[in-house]
Amino acid sequence: MKGLLLLIPVIAIIGCGLFGGADYWPLAVGNIWNYAGMTTVTISGTTDTTAKYFITDKITANDQTIDGNKVFTVATRESIVYYNPDTFNVYTGNSYVREANKAILSYSSLTDSTPDTSLMTDLKEGKTWTQLYNSGADTIVYTVLTKEDVTVPANTYSAWKVKEVYDSGTPVYYWYADGTGMIKYAYEYTYMTATVDVWMELQSATIK
């Protein structure tokens, strides 16, 4: 799903629970996920909110194919409120997803011939996988860390925590709950004397 959103990775939703087992990204036309989050900057003990995000993902169809493989259409709407100066932006777009060989594959368009491996369907502690970018020059390494109870506005879930590291950079963390999908996303980095926190949490979900 490369390039769909500017600031926060788009959330692809796919399912593997129809045959028993866990379903960390459930898939059905009509499923909806509503997220909200923010970016805060802390300097010398003072914290300010610099941006707020509101994201909705909805599976709208299962009638397209890519390279002969049927895919699900995920429509995403992201609203971003920036502060200082105050601005408001809305981004919309579609991505396409399917499951193959215990992997979640996502496409940025119907002509995308190189899908991303967004998630593995058999999550367990210590499991890793790699996504290549820029003709193999850059990599994203994913590692399943642990399962823990996580409370977000939508509910309290038992979720797998997954670490994502792009080209040995700042770690990004995702939490995935069986039967619901991604429930949280967060990372932190430093810029000069500032600490920047970015996070997003599930507010509500409709799962068919």
pLDDT interval class at 19 (50, 70, 90): very low
pLDDT at 110: 96
Nearest to 113 by CA among 69, 63, 67, 65: 67
Give the mean pLDDT of 74-93: 96
pLDDT at 101: 86
Using the predicted structure, report yes or no on whether residue 208 has a pLDDT greater than 70. Answer: yes
**From CA 64, how far away is CA 75, in angstroms rounded?**
13
3 state DSSP class of 177:
strand
pLDDT at 2: 36
User: Domain spanning 32-206 has what CATH number?
Assistant: 2.40.360
